[in-house]
A and B are shown apart, each in its own frame.
Chain A
Amino acid sequence: MNNRARQQLILPLLLLIPTLLLSACGSSESNVDSGNRTGTLHWGNGAEPQSLDPHISVGVPGNTIVSALMEGLILKDSKTLAPKPGVAESWTISDDGRVYTFNLRKNARWSNGDPHNANDYVWSWWRALQPALGNLYAYMYFSIENAQEYYEGTVTDFDQVGVKALDDYTLQVTLTNPTPYFLQLLDHSSLYSVHRGTVEKFGAADERGTRWTYEGNNVSNGAFKLADWKINRRITVERNQYYWNSDQVQLNKIVFYPTENVVSEERMFRAGQLHRTNLVPADKIPVYLEANDSSLHIAPYLGTYFYRINTRVPHLQDKTVRRALAMTIDRETISKSILKAGQIPAYAMTPPGTMGYYPESDLRFDPEAARQLLADAGYPNGEGFPTTEILYNTSDDHRKIAIAIQQMWNKHLNIDIKLLNQEWKVYLDMASAGNYQISRAGWIGDYVDPNSFLDMFLCNGGNNRTGWCNPEYDRLISEVAPTVKSHAERLAVFGQAEQILMDELPVIPIYIYTSVNLVNKSVNNYADNILNQPSFTEMSLQPEQSKIDGGEQ
């Protein structure tokens, strides 16, 4: 009896292993091949999105998926990022630049077939400004008249906020000041509209965690609709036949994968499991470059990597010290030897070319001069300079850069630098509490305008964190720039402000980001832009191409 029972147990166990192995050899068609056949795009998306509610979603992974599901009043050109018609088929701007009137498409529809009109926007924007909702991007609305006041509770009547539906298909928006980048904001997910009926079906309008965004519930107005959401596994969107421009959409389906592990992601790409990767490990970039592999996409990215200096720390209060530090970072070498993806050495905060803006800066790599500066500040040959700590959060790139800079400062200035690696939340805590000496930081522009980079360092700016405060800088950014008439004048004001910033150096810019992606050659119309924003409506899949150069990198 015992023996028989055991045999009954062992047999299936022994059979299981070969079954597992055999099942491996069943099908050899890769995701990319099958995707090309069926029009399914397999997209490495970096991480599991926190939410697909456009008013709650933060972070690139969520926004990318939301941008496939939803569409704003305005779209951006996939290459130049110039505004182009979205839900609004046309718009007019008043002469003083404060009143925008949008004419909405009559054929815009929600994915459940409901008509999509101007009232949806008024209601959605009201919703987005409810503090209880916890919308982190509420400030995107603050250029609209009374929006900030309403959000902060000083104005309680939403009718006073500058948003009005003139009729079902006309939406009028009034701004406090002329805001050249306002149209861009309309393409940001926090200004998308949501389907009122659906939202209210699953809870109060301002309730944060309702189930309206889940598969089966979600109603969207974009080119795709949510088909499947398997947490931490994949999110699938499929063509929305009610989308006004559905005929032009070529993809049938997009599958988004939460690819947290960069190294794994690259291997998935190589094995044909992904059409596109979210990132590429730095050490893999030269391999693709050498092979002259066109699947490697490198493009400038609207973001700056910099070090914050805590100006409250005694020995870092002196701007000559800060300048000496800034001048002994060999940015070229860091970019070439460590980052390897053509990152542009940064000598100012704002990436050059942002809306035609080119910051001027006299910062350069000059160890000789830096030593002199340090001596001037009272530390000849680094003597007496206290041990200084660089804070960074756990990440390969941050670590590598910190190690290189530590060595550069040590070598050129003969000062003692310690590295302090902290886990993300601890790092955030320390950075925002000013509990650091020098801290690694990065900033990605919310919209393409120098303001997005420069308003960070206002005295009371939540993201300033350096303790640096300059009244003249504040005046230029928050008073002069919004009111000047012409674009050129505005840029000049920003230039002035940035010079102050680069003279005082509460931050040391290091490099301008590049976006690095691997994109399978079968993907057509994959356009690189400085926001690394994909345009799923334009992409298509060409099976033949992947066949030709598939496999080898």
Chain B
Amino acid sequence: MALLEVEGLKVYFHTRNGVVKAVDDVSFSVDCGETLAIVGESGSGKSVTCYSLLDLLPKPPARIEGGTALFDGEDLLTCDSTRMRHFRGNDIAVIFQDPMTSLNPFISIGEQLIEPLIYHPDPARKQSRETARKRAIELLDEVGIIDPKSRVDCYPHEFSGGMRQRVMIAMALINEPRLLICDEPTTALDVTIQAQILTLIKKLQETRDVAVIFISHDLGVVAGIADKVLVMCEGTIREAGDTDTIFYHSQNDYTQKLLAAIPEGAKQLPNRAQPDNVLVEVTNLKTHFTDYNKPSNQDNVIRAVDGVSLSIQRGEISGLVGESGSGKSTLGRSILQLAPTTAGQVTFDGTSLTGLNAKQLVPWRRKMQMIFQDPYASLNPRMTVYQTLAEPLLYHGLANRKTIDQQVRQLMDDVGLVHSQLRKYPHEFSGGQRQRIAIGRAIATKPELIIADEPVSALDVTIQAQVLDLILDLVERHNLTMLFISHDLSVVRYISDRVMVMNRGVIIEQGDTEALWADPQQAYTKQLLKAIPLADPRMERVRLADAQADV
């Protein structure tokens, strides 16, 4: 008998507008030492499945309509809340997706770590603060936190994203659970960090013989670590099987669609760059901020961009790669004069932008647009699509009252949205559609340059592929020049003609995409490229094993 056996699980959401079948008749099992990957797009019910096991869903509206979930022979779905506490954090632990928000910012991580121990529902296993603290330090050490003794009293904000996720993992492990549920544990992380975390989970699982349920929207990520894969869509299981079967012999359309969406290989379209026609010229650009975390008598300057020179040729798609904190977003904003530059020059189409004031910039703004990472945050929640798209057109006098309707509709067509959605608000759209709106707004003024700041990193992998294709298509049709900023090297490779690698405020390497991929010069670049997960289980296992050996 397996450790966890889920049989016919049904979870429905009872909303005012009717019943949503979030999970509909799902069955699976996990055994000790086994890793089950549940893969699906957002809304597929993969997270709901796992949360329902631990009674973590908001009730109402959620309601478990049927099924059993036998953990070690005991049904999790019917036990009372006191009994549930014996499972939560003890036998079954969860690692959540976003380490930034999943740790309590008001409490030191040491305190958060020891909570499962000192408040243990079973008095026999309850531990004193002191022993719990010792255990916490040990675990922090184990998950790779350097200097755990002093770090244990720090607060979450003092850790980077990857470190926080390690803390989360330590927290999950502190009571030696037998089942570990990982809910997209690497989605919010940089690629190198992602690789480290994956290695860590793999290692821990092997050393402790725990069962792992690994939830992800990205088949590529799970290739190396999963023993079994469950593909979910709209609350139902589309396909289940061992990893190799799913990856190499899938019969299911949906699974194949997921596999196809993983960006792989080089840009398919020809390079449209016009040599010698430089649109943007950046010379020795510096953007520094004051760090108010540090007292003014110390060196409190953050050198986000520290002497960058680059040029973008008309018609070119340049990729800017770097990990979080490398200064790539600041560079993008500095080029657009959205962030105050400290020194250096930005020349656009022969005109220096750095000396202009807000008013003088207005005509130039029209010609340079930006697409932001989070399509939801970048759209005014109180403006309809129509208003969002019409605003730049009317403001810059590119349309009048007669033509505006027509032009907005044209934009909708351009970005692949149907006209009936004109009057809807951002929250009524899915992530991908929102990003289409944002793209529509960016191209509305017929700009020459678009800076896309991680435009697809918040999207599911299938949606990501569609949006990337849309971007490529628009660049083609509107003769755009683009600076594409991303931490995802596969995506950058898929879309860019040329790549710049940024680290600590400077560009350390640049060159034509394929050339760079083939022969990276810098150690940092090599490390980045090596960290890319491969959507091929056999190769990925080898890569992971290598990585593990490196550690």
Q: Which of B105-134 touch A at CB < 8 Å?
A: 107-108, 111
The secondary structure that dominates the A interface is helix
A residues within 8 A CB of B111?
Answer: 1-3
Q: How far is the CB of A1 from chain B (nearest CB, A)?
A: 8
Per-residue CB contact flags for chain A residues 1-37 toward chain B (1 = under 8 Å, else 0) read 1110000000000000000000000000000000000
Given the complex of chains A and B, what is the CA–CA distance between A1 and B107 in angstroms? 10
A2 to B107, CA, bound (A): 8
**Whole-angstrom distance between the Cβ of A41 and the nearest chain B Cβ:** 59
Minimum CB distance partner of B106 in chain A = A2
Chain A residues with Cβ below 8 Å from B107 are 2
Q: Across the interface, which residues of B come within 8 angstroms of A1, CB to CB?
A: 111
A80 to chain B, nearest CB (A): 78
Q: Mark B90-117, 1 if CB is under 8 A from A, else 0.
A: 0000000000000000011001000000
Q: How far is the CA of A3 from the CA of B119 in the complex (A)?
A: 12
* Inter-chain contacts of B108 with A (CB < 8 A): 2
Bound: A3/B106 CA distance, A: 12
CA distance A1 to B111 in the complex (A): 9
Chain A, 520-547, CB within 8 A of any chain B CB: none
Bound Cα distance A2, B114 (Å): 13
Interface size counted on chain B using CB atoms at 8 A: 3
CB distance from B23 to the nearest CB of A (A): 37
Whole-angstrom CA separation of A240 from B67 in the bound complex: 92
How far is the CB of B157 from the nearest CB of chain A, in Å?
A: 16
A542–chain B nearest beta-carbon distance, Å = 66
* A409-451 contact mask (Cβ, 8 Å, vs B): 1 or 0: 0000000000000000000000000000000000000000000
Which residues on the B side are within 8 Å of A3 (C-beta)?
111
Which B residue sits closest to A3, measured CB to CB? B111
Q: Report the Cα distance A3→B108, complex, angstroms.
A: 11
Return the chain B residue nearest A4 by Cβ.
B129
Provide the bound-state CA to CA distance between A2 and B109, in Å: 12
Taking the closest CB of chain A, its distance from the CB of B132, in whole angstroms, is 13
A3 CA to B132 CA, complexed, in Å = 15
For residue B330, give the distance in angstroms from its CB to the closest CB of chain A. Answer: 35
- Report the Cα distance A2→B155, complex, angstroms: 13
Closest to B129 in A: A1
- Smallest Cβ distance from A43 to chain B, in angstroms? 56
Nearest to B115 among chain A residues (CB) is: A3
Nearest-neighbour CB distance to chain A for B221, whole angstroms, equals 37
Q: How far is the CB of B112 from chain A (nearest CB, A)?
A: 11
Nearest A residue (CB) for B153:
A1
Q: How far is the CB of A4 from chain B (nearest CB, A)?
A: 10
Q: Return B108 CB to nearest CB of chain A, in Å.
A: 8
Q: In the docked arrangement, what's the CA distance between A1 and B108, Å?
A: 10
A2 to B153, CA, bound (A): 12
User: A426 to chain B: closest CB distance in Å?
Assistant: 49
Chain A nearest CB, measured from B410 CB (Å): 58
CB distance from B128 to the nearest CB of A (A): 13
Identity of the chain A residue whose Cβ is nearest the Cβ of B111 in the assembled complex: A2
In the assembled complex, the Cα of A503 lies from the Cα of B389 at a distance in Å of: 86
Find the B residue at minimum CB distance from A1: B111
Shortest Cβ gap from B236 to chain A (Å): 44
Shortest distance from the beta carbon of B444 to any chain A beta carbon, whole Å: 51
Distance (Å) between the CB of A260 and the closest chain B CB?
48
CB distance from A8 to the nearest CB of B (A): 16
Would you list which residues of chain B between 374 and 407 have a CB under 8 Å from chain A? none
Contact with A along B67-109 (1 / 0, CB 8 A): 0000000000000000000000000000000000000000110
What is the bound-complex CA distance between A3 and B107, given in angstroms? 10
**Complex CA–CA separation, A2 to B111 (angstroms):** 9
Q: A402: shortest Cβ distance to chain B, in Å?
A: 53
CB distance from B155 to the nearest CB of A (A): 11
Q: Mark B136-174, 1 if CB is under 8 A from A, else 0.
A: 000000000000000000000000000000000000000
Question: Least Cβ distance of A490 to chain B in Å?
Answer: 87
CB of B106, distance to nearest CB on chain A (Å): 9
- B59 to chain A minimum Cβ distance, whole angstroms, is 28
CA distance A326 to B545 in the complex (A): 111
- Roughly how many angstroms separate A216 CA and B291 CA in the complex, as a whole number? 62
Q: List residues of A (253-302) whose CB comes within 8 Å of B's CBs.
A: none
Q: How far is the CB of A403 from chain B (nearest CB, A)?
A: 51
Please give the distance in Å from A418's CB to the nearest CB on chain B: 49
Distance in angstroms between the alpha carbons of A548 and B108 in the assembled complex: 68
Q: CB-CB < 8 A to A2: which residues of B?
A: 107-108, 111
A316 to B111, CA, bound (A): 85
B318 to chain A, nearest CB (A): 49
A509–B413 Cα distance when bound, in Å, is: 89
Rounded to whole angstroms, the CA-CA distance of A94 and B140 in the bound complex is: 110
- Within the complex, the shortest CB–CB distance from B124 to chain A, in Å, comes to 22
B127: shortest Cβ distance to chain A, in Å? Answer: 15
B341 to chain A, nearest CB (A): 42
Give the shortest distance, in Å, between A6 (CB) and chain B (any CB). 11
Give the residue name and chain of the A residue nearest to B110 (CB): A1
B117 to chain A, nearest CB (A): 14
Nearest CB on B from A2, distance (A): 7
User: In the complex, what distance in Å separates the CA atom of A139 from the CA atom of B306?
Assistant: 88
Q: How far is the CB of B337 from chain A (nearest CB, A)?
A: 45
Cβ of A3 to closest chain B Cβ, rounded Å = 8
B116 to chain A, nearest CB (A): 15
Question: Could you give, for residues 323-349 of chain B, a 1 whenever the CB lies within 8 Å of some chain A CB and a 0 otherwise?
Answer: 000000000000000000000000000
Once bound together, how far apart are the Cα atoms of A3 and B111, in whole Å? 9
Q: How far is the CB of B278 from chain A (nearest CB, A)?
A: 57
A2 to B108, CA, bound (A): 9
Interface string of A498-518 (1 = CB under 8 A from B): 000000000000000000000
Chain A nearest CB, measured from B274 CB (Å): 62
Residues 48-80 (chain A) with a chain B CB within 8 angstroms: none
What is the CA–CA distance of A42 and B111 in the complex, to the nearest angstrom?
60
Give the shortest distance, in Å, between B107 (CB) and chain A (any CB): 7
A104 CA to B108 CA in the complex, in Å? 85
CA of A1 to CA of B130, assembled, Å: 12
| Chain B positions near chain A (C-beta within 8 angstroms) | 107-108, 111
User: Can you give 5 contacting A-B residue pairs, CB < 8 Å?
Assistant: A1-B111, A2-B107, A2-B108, A2-B111, A3-B111
A interface, CB within 8 angstroms of B:
1-3
User: Lowest 5 CB-CB distances: which A-B pairs, in order?
Assistant: A2-B111, A2-B107, A3-B111, A2-B108, A1-B111
